[in-house]
Amino acid sequence: MITIKNYIKGKFQNPIQGNWLDNYNPSDGEIYGQIPNSSKEDVESAYKSAKSAFSSWSQTTLEERSRILIKISELLEANLDRFAEAESKDNGKPISLAKAIDIPRAASNFRFFGNAITQFASESHESVGQNAINYTLRQPIGVVGCISPWNLPLYLFTWKIAPALAAGNCVVAKPSEVTPMTAYLLGEICNEAGLPEGVLNIVHGLGTTTGQAIIEHPDIKAISFTGGTATGAHIARVAAPMFKKLSLELGGKNPNIIFADCDYEDMLNTTVRSSFANQGQICLCGSRIFVEASIYDKFKKDFVEKVKALKVGHPSEADTNIGALVSKSHLEKVKAYINIAKEEKGTVLCGGNEVTIKGFENGYYLEPTVIEVPNDDCRVNQEEIFGPVVTIMPFKSEDDVLEMANKVKYGLSATLWTNSLKRTMRMSNELQAGIVWVNTWMMRDLRTPFGGVKASGVGREGGFEALRFFTEAKNVCIKY
Ligand SMILES: NC(=O)C1=CN([C@@H]2O[C@H](COP(=O)(O)OP(=O)(O)OC[C@H]3O[C@@H](n4cnc5c(N)ncnc54)[C@H](O)[C@@H]3O)[C@@H](O)[C@H]2O)C=CC1
Ligand SMILES: O=C(O)/C=C/C=C(\O)C(=O)O
């Protein structure tokens, strides 16, 4: 059994009230550790630790902050295997994915913002004819809160922490209680890299106890959150009247729009990935596939064939494509949607069943599932499933597909497959999404604005947008 502890003032600490939660291994359904269910007192202790570190950290030179963040990045790379194994065990994702994507990206987050802060600049405005000059300071906010989900645990945890620290803030952070392990290990790396004590504090526990204490804390002035839309709405209700800065990166129900003039093989292979990567548990997955009618039958046949060939297996096996879903309750939620699809006259073209892996019979495995839906209004096309389930349906014209693509409450990302430049320009302008990928999917450049519109969130992460979020602008006007 592994006992995870809070990381406060550079030390590993038990929760003050002594409340603990079980930590499950999704690949076999066994409890393999305990994590604190931290109370208000723990969050207060983390806050005080952060507050006491702020005056010094906010005055640390950019070169020194940059050096420490890049050192953390190097240590993550040096510990790739250990972190990837921990991530895979905690989350159920294939170890190959954790090694190739999750941990390298967590390292990149620290390296990227370690470099970006040395290039971040503010503006000046000369008030011509009035003998005055304005310059704008970008000052760190103080103590900020970072709350992250379970699907890309260290990847998303560090995507928030790295810019917050780079900008000179001190942080109280909470990873998902479902996947706390790599955030726990990160504390060790931060100490080794020489991050001063108190600059980063990591508290573990349920959203309703620990998370709630963070968002309610009167002196935690900004909250950066990634997770479900309902939770995001709750956080906004609590934090907005306290005038906290908010960055909310929420759910998606992203259209994957395939025109007949696309590069077919590239589209097909990428569509398998955009449907089922990380067991479909990425907010950017293209869960609604719309295919131009003239190639619909061919696509249906080829796609189903490829999906059937995916191997559902234990996350530690090198050839596993689909690992375990993150939790028993999430597996039940995804299965319920497959039943809803059947009730709504959807046709399950492949998958739909739980998978039993020999030796790991209590793990949370599900076949990758493709459902042909009769229309776009059905619940499986409107609600976020967040699992290895996609829908497919044909469309007749650009106008029809655009209307369907936009007719959801979400607006995170959209993928477009076409070789027509004019169509690309038209559709990219009209799609209601924060991110549009054309002839690719999830190609990430960390300098670009990342986030959604409508129920997919508020604000943008990434690049200088993130550094702007984690700083307050103060304009100074000098008359001469
Ligand atoms: N990035 C995304 O788009 C994600 C979307 N989801 C969606 O949300 C659904 C629900 O998943 P959950 O695990 O329940 O996500 P969630 O939104 O409840 O959890 C995300 C984080 O928020 C925290 N949290 C929960 N309640 C809170 C509160 N009152 N105050 C502060 N923090 C709080 C959680 O502890 C976790 O760290 C999923 O089925 C999926 O559809 C889930 C994870 C990521
Ligand atoms: O690449 C990113 O920065 C983010 C990817 C995915 C999510 O935010 C998510 O699935 O929540």
CA distances from 304 to 195, 297, 331, 400, 418 (A): 49, 11, 22, 24, 21
Query: Model confidence over 159-201: pLDDT tens digits?
Result: 999 999 999 999 999 999 999 999 999 999 999 999 999 999 9
Which tokens go with 237? 């209700």
Q: So what's the pLDDT on residue 320?
A: 98
Question: Ligand 2 centroid vs 313 CA: distance in angstroms?
Answer: 24
Which tokens go with 133? 């000059």
Q: So what's the pLDDT on residue 300?
A: 98
pTM above 0.95, yes or no: yes
For residue 283, which atom of ligand 2 is closest to its CA?
A: 10
Alpha-helix residue ranges (DSSP H) falling in 344-453: 379-382, 398-406, 421-430
Taking residues 224-231, what's their average pLDDT? 98
Residue type, 269: N
Of all protein residues, the one whose alpha carbon is nearest to atom 37 of ligand 1 is 176
CA distances from 340 to 254, 344, 351 (A): 19, 6, 15
- Are 435 and 460 in contact, with CB atoms under 8 Å apart? no
Kindly give the interhelix angle for 181-193 and 153-166, rounded to the nearest 10 degrees: 40
Of 178, 188, 189, residue with least CA distance to 153: 178
Residue type, 115: N
- Are 53 and 386 in contact, with CB atoms under 8 Å apart? no
Query: Model confidence over 258-313: pLDDT tens digits?
Result: 999 999 999 999 999 999 999 999 999 999 999 999 999 999 999 999 999 999 99
Query: Model confidence over 107-152: pLDDT tens digits?
Result: 999 999 999 999 999 999 999 999 999 999 999 999 999 999 999 9
User: Quick check: CB of 207 below 6 Å from ligand 1?
Assistant: yes
Q: 255-438: which CATH architecture?
A: 3-Layer(aba) Sandwich (3.40)
Taking residues 345-361, what's their average pLDDT? 98
- Are 65 and 179 in contact, with CB atoms under 8 Å apart? no
Fold of 2-250+456-479: Aldehyde Dehydrogenase; Chain A, domain 1 (3.40.605)
Question: Ligand 1 centroid vs 132 CA: distance in angstroms?
Answer: 48
Taking residues 219-247, what's their average pLDDT? 98
Which tokens go with 325? 């879903």
φ, ψ for residue 395 (rounded to 5)? -135, 160
Q: So what's the pLDDT on residue 149?
A: 98
477 classed as catalytic: no
Looking from the CA of 113 toward its CB, the CA atoms found within 13 Å total 30
Percentage of the chain modeled with pLDDT above 70 = 100
Residues of the chain with CATH 3.40.309.10: 255-438
Query: Model confidence over 383-412: pLDDT tens digits?
Result: 999 999 999 999 999 999 999 999 999 999
- Euclidean distance between CA atoms 386 and 187, whole angstroms: 29
Reduce the DSSP state of residue 23 to 3 states and report it: strand
Residues of the chain with CATH 3.40.605.10: 2-250+456-479
Spatial neighbors of 84 by CB under 8 A, at least 6 apart, are 95, 98, 99, 102, 103
Q: So what's the pLDDT on residue 325?
A: 98
User: Quick check: CB of 275 below 6 Å from ligand 2?
Assistant: no
- Euclidean distance between CA atoms 117 and 96, whole angstroms: 31
Interface ipTM: 0.96
User: Quick check: CB of 228 below 6 Å from ligand 1?
Assistant: yes
User: Quick check: CB of 198 below 6 Å from ligand 1?
Assistant: no
Catalytic residue from among 85, 249, 372, 461: 249
Query: Model confidence over 360-372: pLDDT tens digits?
Result: 999 999 999 999 9
For residue 149, which atom of ligand 2 is closest to its CA?
A: 11
Question: Ligand 1 centroid vs 176 CA: distance in angstroms?
Answer: 8
Which tokens go with 418? 């076409």
Q: So what's the pLDDT on residue 147?
A: 99
Query: Model confidence over 421-445: pLDDT tens digits?
Result: 999 999 999 999 999 999 999 999 9
Q: So what's the pLDDT on residue 43?
A: 99
Q: So what's the pLDDT on residue 463?
A: 98
Of 317, 278, 321, 328, residue with least CA distance to 29: 328
Confidence of residue 326 (pLDDT cuts 50, 70, 90): very high
- Euclidean distance between CA atoms 400 and 206, whole angstroms: 43
Question: Ligand 2 centroid vs 130 CA: distance in angstroms?
Answer: 47
Question: Ligand 1 centroid vs 337 CA: distance in angstroms?
Answer: 18
Q: So what's the pLDDT on residue 57?
A: 99
Kindly give the interhelix angle for 80-91 and 181-193, rounded to the nearest 10 degrees: 160
Catalytic residue from among 146, 190, 262, 283: 283
Residue to mutate, 91, 113, 156, 226, ligand 2, most ligand atoms under 8 Å from C-beta: 156
φ, ψ for residue 328 (rounded to 5)? -60, -45
